[in-house]
Amino acid sequence: MVKQARRQITGVWFVLAVYATSRIFYLISGLLLARLVPTSSHQLSTSDVPPGTLNIWSYWDGEHYVALALDGYFQAPRYVSPAFFPLYPLLIRSLSEFFDGSPSKEAVSFWGPVLSLLFLPFAFYFIYEIARNGWGERVAKGTLLTLAFFPTTFFLNAAYTESLFLALSAGALWAIRVRRNLLLACIFAGLATATRNVGIFLVVPLLFEWVKQGGIKQPREMWRGLYLALVPSGLVLYMGYLWLKFGDPLLFYSSQKYWEREATGPLATATRAWQTAVEGVDILRDPGLWAHPAVQNFADHLERANSAYNLAFLVFALVVLLAGIRVLPLSLTIYSLLLVVPPALFGTPEIPLMGIPRYVLVAFPIFIVMGHLATKKLLFAGWLLLSTAVSLILCALFVSWRFVA
């Protein structure tokens, strides 16, 4: 018991150390890159007041969450707000009201990233404990380091739902796998579905784990299976709200038409993804880029090559999951695939895999597989260096108002 307590304390300190180191690194890097990289010509209006505050992390979708936290939902198609789920903006507004009284756009733009930073250590802890419990301390440390310095990890600082969703979804799997508490797991999962629609996929690993732990074989415990009805509760409540307010419970889906998102078949998606990726590579081979290698010119070309690295992220995720079939339980493999593959089938004509680099970020079982690299120190160190370098490039695009994911 004493050894176990010491291990847990050591693990908590490791989690906090990785959290502090990685977030300070990206916050400082983001601040410097925002000043060094010229802003994109299609910059949207944002409340970065004063310049260089945390509000540089409230770009793109962050602007939508800021607007939601201030003004609530409006009817589509003129307004796209129903596409964004309510828990995150509700928490932002609550924080802003508690500390600032009447919320302002500047204050809400600040509290969005702060909220993400507050939830992130919980996400890191849950993931660390899941990995430690299933694969040992070394793999757990490798998992956390791989996640903390992944190429799109800077989104965990931003006014996006990544940190909150990661904390809730990992919390659900921590509760069922480590604590063996189905009720707590389903409560976490219900909150996750109020954060992102893909939270509904948590029902797969939760059901698998409940059955594996004897939930069906023990008649006295079978009634606990009713807890699984809590998993879609966040989504159901949001659909009920949309129905009452706008008369359309599926407005969160139909609002996606604003970005021209549409469901496509796997073959059509793969074909279009390959074509646009090739076009992206051709953009990077443009002689004009290398003839005039200015920072702004290079950043603009990288942004236009978005489809190339979208495909790279998708292939990376699929290859890692394939390689990890013997490492991960089937339930976690299926869950990761559900987080990555279905969203890939709802891209736009111009960017068929739009958002994939972010979707991979929350599919944390992928990082458990990567965590096994920690047993090979040189290979693991090489990966961390490469991953961190790529993350700084993508971070530079994000804080200069260029689209990443």
DSSP code at position 249: T
Q: Could you read off the pLDDT of 339-363 as tens digits, one per residue?
A: 999 888 887 878 889 899 999 999 9
pLDDT band of 304, cuts 50, 70, 90: confident
User: Mean pLDDT, the chain, as a whole number?
Assistant: 89
Q: Could you read off the pLDDT of 67-91 as tens digits, one per residue?
A: 899 888 987 656 788 999 999 999 9
> Model pTM?
0.94
pLDDT at 44 over 80: no
Question: What pLDDT does 2 receive?
Answer: 62
Question: What pLDDT does 1 receive?
Answer: 65
How far apart CA 309 and CA 385 sit, in angstroms, is: 18
How far apart CA 383 and CA 389 sit, in angstroms, is: 10
Cα dihedral 313, 317, 318, 320, rounded to 10, equals: 130
pLDDT band of 94, cuts 50, 70, 90: very high
Q: 209 vs 218, which has greater pLDDT? A: 209
pLDDT band of 292, cuts 50, 70, 90: low
pLDDT at 4 over 80: no
How far apart CA 89 and CA 317 sit, in angstroms, is: 29
How far apart CA 89 and CA 83 sit, in angstroms, is: 12
pLDDT at 337 over 60: yes
pLDDT band of 214, cuts 50, 70, 90: confident
Q: Which residues contact 306 (CB under 8 A, 6 or more apart)?
A: 280, 351, 354, 403, 404
pLDDT at 46 over 60: no
How far apart CA 235 and CA 194 sit, in angstroms, is: 5
